[in-house]
Every structure is written in C-alpha cells, then in structure tokens.
C-alpha cells in the first residue's frame, strides 16, 4: 500500500528544520547502503550520528507519534531514527530495494524494515526531476509531494529517485518495523479502520460499529508480532 499522509509537519516546522539541517555537514550518501545500493546511489546525507540529524529526527518522530493516519497505516512497533538526504546537479538513486534489517546507531537494537517513509522538506516547484518512483504489483507510481507531506510504501518494493536536474530536493527518510509485517494484512487493517471511522462519523457509535471495532482489534491481535 502506498499512502500519502499530508501535513506531518507544518510549514513553520519545515522552515525551522531546513535552517538547522542546511547548515550541517553533509556527506556521501553511499555510507549507509550495501554494495548493490552503492552502485546506483548518488546523493548526500547527514551522517547517522550527526547531532543535528538526531535532534531533527526526534521532532519528526514526535510528529508521527501524534499522527493518527501514520499509526493506522504503519502500525509501528519501532522506527529507525530518521535520516536526511539531498539531491542536486543530476544526483539520483537508481532502482533498488531497501535492506531488510537496519541497526539503530549507538544501540544493540536491530529492526526489520517493513514500511519505508519519505517526508518531503521542499516543495515540488523547488526542483525538476527527483520523483520517487515506486514499483509495485499495480504498476509504477511517481511521487512528488508538498513540503511537510509524507509518502509511506512497503519496504519490499523496488524504487528509485529520478535525477534532479534543477534546484534541490531535500527529504527525510526512515523505516518502520510494523506490528504486522505483511503488507496485504496491514492494508486490510487500514481499510477496515478507516471504514469503521467513516461509519462512526455518519451514524455515531452503534452496536455494529462496536462489533466491527472488536473484530478489527481481534484481527490485529491475531496478526501482530512484537
């Protein structure tokens, strides 16, 4: 499931974040990938241990924790500290799949990457190219969102970032280990959750919405792993 989550950060939060990260020291993005990724990745990143990245990443994690749509879609168990990347002057990231396991810097923790997220920190008119292209069973999707918006997609999908031919593309990206590892199950739970909410908005709480809510939770209980 691909999902656009609008307004994860406000315009003011994006502006403050950009001021902080733009002034930091950026390094070659190949530092955080395996050998296949290194062959196709041409961009810059903030180092994983950069204090600025850690501080700004915490702001993103707080925003996500308060966002009901992110919770409903990702069903997060744990999230890797967000990273930051930028592309300009033709930089690109060719077709790849994200590594299945990531370690959390400075901790013994490892997590399985179930859900990938890209949070845009620039507006579409700031650059040409730079579309995130996600390939799934329904075809190829091109994504370019307003600053502050996030796209969430299964980490199992092949994806690429098109060359940036004008201006600069600045984003945060991170991975979530979900309580429900299977994308199809997660997508069904999300559909069910959203439909129950719409029914509740239309009819108020009824015997039927209570029953459906119970079934949602029983499915989540059956499928979740910690």
List residues binding Ni ion (CB under 5 A).
98
Bridge partners (DSSP) listed for residue 183: none
First to last CA, the chain: 21
Shortest distance (Å) from residue 53 CB to Ni ion: 17
Residue 204 near residue 109, CB atoms below 8 Å: no
For helices 207-223 and 183-203, the axis angle rounded to 10 degrees is: 160
**Which residue in the shown chain puts its C-beta closest to Ni ion?**
98
The CB-of-186 to Ni ion minimum distance in angstroms stands at: 19
30: closest CA among 92, 88, 77, 75?
92
Tokens, residue 98: 């994200």
**CB neighbours of residue 69 within 10 Å:** 19
- Residues 6 or more apart whose CB falls under 8 angstroms from that of 68 comprise none
**CA–CA distance, 194 with 32 (Å, rounded to integer):** 35
Least distance CB 161 / Ni ion (angstroms): 8
Closer to Ni ion by CB, 98 or 183: give it.
98
> Which residue lies nearer to Ni ion by CB, 183 or 193?
183
Q: Is the Cβ of residue 13 or residue 118 nearer to Ni ion in the bound state?
A: 118
Nearer to Ni ion, 60 or 189 (CB): 60
DSSP state of 31: G
Q: How far is the CB of 108 from Ni ion (least distance, A)?
A: 24
Question: Please, what is the minimum distance in Å from the beta carbon of residue 81 to Ni ion?
Answer: 16
Closer residue to Ni ion in complex, CB, 42/193: 42
């Amino acid at each position: 499931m691909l999902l656009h989550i609008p307004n994860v950060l406000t315009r003011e939060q994006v502006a403050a974040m950009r001021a902080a990260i733009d002034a930091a020291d950026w390094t070659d993005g190949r530092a955080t990938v395996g050998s296949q990724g290194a062959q196709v990745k041409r961009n810059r990143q903030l180092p994983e241990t950069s204090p600025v990245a850690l501080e700004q990443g915490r702001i993103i994690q707080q925003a996500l924790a308060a966002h009901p749509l992110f919770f409903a879609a990702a069903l997060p168990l744990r999230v890797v500290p967000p990273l930051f990347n930028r592309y300009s002057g033709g930089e690109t990231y060719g077709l790849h799949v994200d590594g299945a396991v990531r370690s959390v810097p400075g901790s013994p923790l490892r997590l399985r990457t179930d859900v990938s997220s890209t949070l845009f920190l620039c507006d579409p008119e700031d650059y040409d190219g730079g579309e995130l292209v996600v390939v799934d069973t329904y075809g190829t999707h091109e994504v370019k969102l307003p600053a502050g918006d996030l796209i969430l997609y299964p980490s199992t999908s092949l994806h690429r970032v098109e060359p940036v031919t004008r201006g600069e593309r600045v984003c945060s990206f991170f991975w979530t280990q979900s309580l429900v590892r299977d994308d199809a199950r997660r997508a069904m739970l999300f559909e069910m959750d959203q439909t129950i909410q719409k029914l509740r908005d239309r009819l108020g709480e009824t015997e039927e919405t209570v029953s459906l809510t119970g079934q949602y939770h029983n499915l989540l209980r059956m499928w979740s792993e910690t």
